[in-house]
């Protein structure tokens, strides 16, 4: 799983959660440490989860999915996780026998990223969003994490042809394992997508809920996206089952999602019990 680490160079946080006293696994973003999650840890304990069951994932631990599958959680619940929501989704899609009940994605660029953020400037100081596709949609570029989910709405063909992570995971590019991946992903019981307009990092913020830009950089909501309409990887099935929950909150900057009690109470708590 060393490769998984490479995908995740953005501070997004995700919970892969198992309900009702099953282990709760928290995946933090690359620029966080477990100490940043003290508040969330406290919130979760309040609803009767023992602290033993809450893992504050460290970067290296996150990449050892197999050990998590086997020893730690016994037969109850094989939670899988990784550093960010996209990587977590990848694991849920590619791992045939996972037993994750609720997948709570906390402001994660599920539909990709297209924006000049601080992270982008840090990684590619000499590039702006409009020309990053020159780098990203190449074999070398795809070795850089943000390029794996860089989704340039003006170069959709190149994205679909070149993205070795997001386009594959979304089954936007044909892949012999698509059917199996969709079945694996649909093992989850609930998909909770949390995001909000004041995030400041995920661009467009609606990407956290599978909305994204069209060619004119107008945001098209999830339900009008091709991946949803064609049910490429199970989103529409989840929606039809009533298992797709969107929770939007204004006034929360990216780094505060996990420590905001209102967010916890409104968007997370009820999916843990
Ligand atoms: C949860 O914890 C509270 C406070 O410790 C306790 O009063 C309550 O009975 C617990 N609920 C369950 C279902 O264990
Ligand atoms: C994408 O791939 C298809 C099929 O291989 C090819 O016909 C098309 O020209 C490619 N488009 C771009 C922009 O690379
Ligand atoms: C499809 O699954 C097979 C067997 O699990 C694996 O060897 C192969 O690499 C997968 N293909 C892709 C494109 O991931
Ligand atoms: C984008 O804008 C152009 C010019 O205004 C328009 O012709 C086109 O239909 C728009 N595309 C979409 C997908 O709305
Ligand atoms: C927490 O969330 C609430 C509701 O969205 C928001 O009004 C508040 O500003 C947030 N607080 C912080 C510190 O982000």
Could you tell me the two tokens for 106? 């906390």
Whether the pLDDT of residue 255 is over 70: the answer is: yes
Name which residue sits closest to atom 11 of ligand 3, judged by CA: 177
CA 172 to chain CA centroid, Å, is 17
179 confidence band (pLDDT: 50, 70, 90): very high
Give me the pLDDT at residue 1, please: 29
Give me the pLDDT at residue 34, please: 57
Name which residue sits closest to atom 14 of ligand 5, judged by CA: 252
Give me the pLDDT at residue 68, please: 35
DSSP state of 254: G
Tell me the domains of the chain and their CATH numbers: 2-247+260-271 (3.40.50.1820)
pTM above 0.75, yes or no: yes
Find the residues whose C-beta lies inside 6 A of ligand 2. 157-158, 161
Instruction: Give the tens place of pLDDT for each residue, 190-245.
Output: 899 999 999 988 899 999 999 999 999 999 999 999 999 999 999 999 999 999 99
Give me the pLDDT at residue 53, please: 42
- Closest approach atom of ligand 5 to CA 263: 2
CA neighbours closer than 13 Å in the CB half-sphere of residue 162: 23
Is residue 82 among the annotated active site residues?
yes
Mean of the per-residue pLDDT values of the chain:
75
Residue of 28, 155, 254, 258 with catalytic role: 254
Is residue 254 among the annotated active site residues?
yes
**Do 178 and 203 touch, CB atoms closer than 8 A?**
no
Instruction: Give the tens place of pLDDT for each residue, 4-32.
Output: 222 233 333 344 444 345 566 666 555 55
Q: Name which residue leads in pLDDT, 47 or 103.
A: 103
Instruction: Give the tens place of pLDDT for each residue, 25-78.
Output: 666 555 555 566 667 767 766 554 544 444 443 333 333 333 333 323 322 222
Query: Is the CA virtual torsion 163, 166, 169, 170 positive or negative?
Result: negative
Burial (CB count within 10 angstroms: exposed 0-12, middle 13-18, buried 19+), residue 126: exposed
Give me the pLDDT at residue 7, please: 29
Give me the pLDDT at residue 112, please: 92
The Å distance, Cα 157 to ligand 2 centre, comes to 7
Burial (CB count within 10 angstroms: exposed 0-12, middle 13-18, buried 19+), residue 251: exposed
**CA–CA dist 256, 39 (Å, integer):** 10
Whether the pLDDT of residue 155 is over 70: the answer is: yes
Pocket test for ligand 3, best of 176, 178, 180 (most atoms within 8 A of CB): 176
Mean pLDDT of 247-265: 89
Helix axes 85-94, 178-185, angle to 10 degrees: 110
82 confidence band (pLDDT: 50, 70, 90): very low
Could you tell me the two tokens for 160? 């679909």
**Do 20 and 273 touch, CB atoms closer than 8 A?**
yes
**CA–CA dist 21, 216 (Å, integer):** 46
Give me the pLDDT at residue 81, please: 28
Distant-in-sequence, close-in-space partners of 212: CB < 8 Å, separation ≥ 6: 111, 112, 114, 151, 153, 204, 206, 219, 220, 225
Q: CB of 15 closer than 6 A to ligand 5?
A: no
Give me the pLDDT at residue 69, please: 38
Whether the pLDDT of residue 182 is over 60: the answer is: yes
Is residue 130 among the annotated active site residues?
no
Name which residue sits closest to atom 8 of ligand 4, judged by CA: 216
Q: CB of 175 closer than 6 A to ligand 3?
A: yes
């Amino acid at each position: 799983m060393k490769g998984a680490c490479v995908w995740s160079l953005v501070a997004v946080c995700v919970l892969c959660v198992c309900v009702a006293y099953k282990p709760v696994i928290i995946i933090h973003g690359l620029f966080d440490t477990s100490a940043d999650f003290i508040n969330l840890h406290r919130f979760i304990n309040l609803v009767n989860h023992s602290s033993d069951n809450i893992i504050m994932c460290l970067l290296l631990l996150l990449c050892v999915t197999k050990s998590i599958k086997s020893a730690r959680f016994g037969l109850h619940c094989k939670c899988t996780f990784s550093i960010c929501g996209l990587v977590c989704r990848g694991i849920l899609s590619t791992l045939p026998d996972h037993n994750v009940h609720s997948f709570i994605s906390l402001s994660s660029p599920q539909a990709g990223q297209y924006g000049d953020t601080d992270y982008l400037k840090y990684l590619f100081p000499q590039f702006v969003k409009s020309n990053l596709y020159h780098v990203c949609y190449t074999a070398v570029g795809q070795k850089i994490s943000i390029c794996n989910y860089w989704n340039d709405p003006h170069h959709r063909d190149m994205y679909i042809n070149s993205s070795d992570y997001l386009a594959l995971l979304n089954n936007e590019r044909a892949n012999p394992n698509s059917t199996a991946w969709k079945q694996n992903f649909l093992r989850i019981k609930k998909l909770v997508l949390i995001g909000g307009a004041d995030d400041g990092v995920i661009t467009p913020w609606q990407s956290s809920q599978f909305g994204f830009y069209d060619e004119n950089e107008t945001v098209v909501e999830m339900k009008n996206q091709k991946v949803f309409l064609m049910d490429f990887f199970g989103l529409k099935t989840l929606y039809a089952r009533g298992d797709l929950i969107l929770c939007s909150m204004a006034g929360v900057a990216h780094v505060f999602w996990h420590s905001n009690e209102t967010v916890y109470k409104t968007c997370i708590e009820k999916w843990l019990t």
